[in-house]
Structure 1
């Protein structure tokens, strides 16, 4: 603030006092305000005006009038009417208001704002008519800055996540190499069986060593809808085939080469192939289970619910039936995309990317089985669904345990037989990767009990089986769990 004011300036401010009328300072966004407390005293307005419009004496010429560098344009005068009618106050402003209410110092001095609508009025706080530094330009810069910061934060998470993924892969590499060798050289695997006319419409079948009809799991792997691949199910296929269960790992196109609808369509075609052809590979067509992990669990659930809806309409033709699925087994999946979007945004890229994968925010309900099964219009379809069993680790921070809990609750409310099996302290990858590499696989034990339920001979044979071999040293698995990006 200037220590002295020229005589011309004092005369100008004195004249201004006589023209300023009482001004309302009520918040236009807060209803039912008392009018008695909304009028600012003239003296206070004068003081506010003086404090906000302090000018250097070089704004005046030698005659005491405003010169060419004046803050007031030539041939224009201040009006003596109130700056804003109390009865016609609006909550937004246009360019003309900005031009008439913001006065700029051409030498870069501070900008004076005379429109209260340009001030923030949050929390019901009252602001005087002149506010100083808050204006549209600064708000624009603030918004742009916040976007830049958000982009930097998102990029930082992506970079650190990528580095963590590389370190995680290195630590579990001893197990990955052993599984890869088994995948490419085992005679018990039928790879790249084509089931559709689209790219990646292929599946792998992991076969037990004897030819007696065996129960079957049609398995859809995870991969965040972006990096899913059928080979990710090799470790599960290896262990379950050794326990007398056929595993068919179904591949599907990923984003951005495919939409969510096309991923579900690919999965449905793969399921259809398994239901109609698995007997040729020694599978029992009356004991087919549908299973998915992570994003694969979501895709499998969508395919199952969509198929039930089709079957509920008599005129719809289908290539497979929900009745052919003995049970749905979902591991670490998300089934309500609105809730999952809010969670994933805190850990990865923007919501806009997730919305793009789901074909836009308007399609989120369509791809949320938890929401679909509760729609009264789908009551007949829901009655066709098989029993549902979900598995989830309590320490899963990629897809929270609540995703499975709320889906089970929703299914039970609409009459579907559903249950949830929790693994205490297990993360997103513990249940599916680290534990199987340890040779201590609780998920494997639970799956075998469910699928071989009632088959005393198979259960007795498994009880005598030797312990599964460890693939990776324990210290490496513990370190991998600590740095895992999942």
Structure 2
């Protein structure tokens, strides 16, 4: 559940400024990048928005990164914004509070607050709040799952999971009690971790449509227990769920395959966009993989 960086080439992409990242890759009139937007009062309650200039009623994606709820920064995931904006999606990448400054369920409230802010303000960037999706990787996939499946978090911020068009979990931990990873135990107050902290406990028929992605070579988060287990629970509850397993992909490479230099590894971006749906009225230009 921790996030290990993806290699020198991806590091180079992630550490460049947004303009440097987009120069020579996306035409300068193809998108806008708004950085450091506050959705709350705390220093980590900020997000970046990537939007096509010509977007009008485009689907909206809120992305949550991983890092064991102990590390991570939105600046490291500019390649996700690049990938999705190049396909015509309005994309928000949100920071949230991390341990030890915060613990369960503080980061879920942060994520819910970010989603509520995006739902209210995305139209100014050309986004359609009626087509709002959550996407997360690793710990971020847990966050997305809990917001989509457990109504407590969005309701606390004046919203509901019913507002979501769907959600995507990439290599997410959805059923991890008892907690084996020592670094994660204090994040969830282990051994006093509430049983209802597990996404698999919240599978129900009214859940938003889900796409669950995992790599067959993931040695960090067991895809059989987590991805397959949640998919089976949602299916048993008669919820709309699709699961995709990518042969040979590990934990980090699943999200890394969204980056331009690594898209040859697997059709992760293609499958993600197929689930999100085709943008309406967005910029006609699309970057080539």
Name segments (4+ residues, structure 1) moved above 4 Å: 184-187
- Give SS of 1:204's match: strand
Residue pairs, 1:126-165, within 5 angstroms:
none
Deviations 1:23-72 (A, max 9, x none): xxxxxxxxxxxxxxxxxxxxxxxxxxxxxxxxxxxxxxxxxxxxxxxxxx
Q: Distance in 2 between matches of 1:278 and 1:176?
A: 29
Mark the CA change 1:466 to 1:419 in structure 2 (over 3 Å): closer, same or farther. closer
Q: CA deviation at 1:364?
A: 4.2
Q: Distance in 2 between matches of 1:438 and 1:399?
A: 21
Check if 1:268 corresponds to 2:112. Answer: yes
Check if 1:406 corresponds to 2:250. Answer: no
1:425 aligned to which of 206, 230, 248: 248
Mark the CA change 1:182 to 1:371 in structure 2 (over 3 Å): closer, same or farther. same
- Structure 1: where are the runs of 5+ without partners? 1-160, 345-349, 374-381, 469-486
Asked if 2 retains the 8 angstrom alpha-carbon contact of 1:205 and 1:248, the reply is yes
Deviations 1:137-178 (A, max 9, x none): xxxxxxxxxxxxxxxxxxxxxxxx99xx6xx66xx3244223
* TM-score, reference length from structure 1: 0.52
1:330 aligned to which of 158, 169, 174: 169
* TM-score, reference length from structure 2: 0.85
Asked if 2 retains the 8 angstrom alpha-carbon contact of 1:279 and 1:285, the reply is yes
- Give SS of 1:255's match: coil
Q: Distance in 2 between matches of 1:309 and 1:191?
A: 29
- Give SS of 1:191's match: strand
Mark the CA change 1:256 to 1:418 in structure 2 (over 3 Å): closer, same or farther. same
Match of 1:207 in 2: 51
Check if 1:173 corresponds to 2:8. Answer: yes
Q: Distance in 2 between matches of 1:189 and 1:294?
A: 25
The answer to which structure has the higher strand fraction is 2
Q: Distance in 1 between matches of 2:153 and 2:95?
A: 23
Aligned CA RMSD, in angstroms, stands at: 2.7
Check if 1:369 corresponds to 2:192. Answer: no
2:269 aligned to which of 441, 444, 460: 444
Q: Quick check: which has more Rg, 1 or 2?
A: 1
Q: Distance in 2 between matches of 1:411 and 1:218?
A: 22
1:295 aligned to which of 139, 146, 159: 139
Q: Distance in 1 between matches of 2:136 and 2:169?
A: 5
Match of 1:467 in 2: 288
Q: CA deviation at 1:453?
A: 4.5
The answer to which structure has the higher helix fraction is 1
- Structure 2: where are the runs of 5+ without partners? 23-30
Asked if 1 retains the 8 angstrom alpha-carbon contact of 2:144 and 2:168, the reply is no
Greater relative CO (CA pairs within 8 A, separation 6+):
2
Asked if 1 retains the 8 angstrom alpha-carbon contact of 2:54 and 2:282, the reply is no
Asked if 1 retains the 8 angstrom alpha-carbon contact of 2:137 and 2:172, the reply is yes
Q: CA deviation at 1:363?
A: 2.0
Q: CA deviation at 1:426?
A: 0.7
Match of 2:79 in 1: 235
Check if 1:354 corresponds to 2:184. Answer: yes
